[in-house]
Amino acid sequence: IHGGWTSWSSWGTCFSDCEHHRLRSCTNPTPQHGGTNCTGDDTLSKECTGDLCKPIHGGWSSWSSWGMCSSDCQHHRSRSCNNPTPQHGGTNCTGDNTLSQGCTGGMCTRVCPDGYVEIESQCFFMANERMNWDNAKKRCEGLSSQLASPEFPMALRDFVINNFSKLSFWIGGRYNENSDVWQWLSGAPFSTSFPWGINDRGEQQDKGEHQHCMILRYFPIQDEQEYVDNRCEKMNYF
């Protein structure tokens, strides 16, 4: 017994997508005993007509109030394309749904996350664990930061000396074997005028010991910090 279609149903209600549908089923008769199924579609769709299906073009809501000042010293306000929401092929709103502007006055106070210290309007993180140079660099990058470099404020050096004077810290200097020079993470060549401390009598050129990474450490004889080379796999704070 080969399958046959029923008659089409009446057109249904117009939906929000501006279409309505009618149906039929392969039950007149239902295929049996290896008979073939019906061919063709069991659903027909077409656009609705009349007032139900007129395009509704989107319109902007009013702007919200300016939000709180964020850590990047910006605040924002927003609006939505829901006054009205576009329907039935109506056009979307044009223009931006957010506005940003710099904070002013007392609104622009930088707040550092927990565990950070604020020094000259910048946030710094002092790790309480030791890592090798590569892992310390990756940890800083994961915090959207970098190992200490010359462009960091002198006040950070003073903070390190006053609070961690007897410890050694990785800084962002490394020997580039390809070009045979010491470089900072920015790519700038190493300079003996690095303001954080004294050079340890040229020891950073001791490449034969594979000491290709740089630390900042306390030098008790001269009672100040010095930066020296160290083996990159050593475990130091950062």
37 and 24 assigned to the same domain: yes
Q: Summarize pLDDT for 190-201 with one digit per residue, the tens.
A: 765 555 544 544
In a domain, 179, yes or no: yes
122 and 181 assigned to the same domain: yes
Q: CA-to-CA distance for 125 and 193, rounded, in angstroms? A: 25
Which single residue is written with the structure tokens 């997508």?
Answer: 17
88 and 151 assigned to the same domain: no
Q: How many independent structural domains does the chain possess?
A: 3
98 and 139 assigned to the same domain: no
In a domain, 159, yes or no: yes
Domain coverage including residue 66: 55-109
Highest mean pLDDT (candidates 24-33, 125-134, 139-148) = 24-33
138 and 186 assigned to the same domain: yes
164 and 219 assigned to the same domain: yes
133 and 224 assigned to the same domain: yes
Amino acid present at 196: W
Q: How many CB atoms lie within 10 A of CB 57?
A: 14
- The CATH number linked to 138 is 3.10.100.10
The vertex-182 CA angle with 176 and 183, nearest 5°, equals 85
Please report the DSSP string for 160-197 in residue order: HHHHHTTS-EEEEEEEETTTTEEEETTSPBP-TT-TTS
Whether the pLDDT of residue 204 is over 70: the answer is no
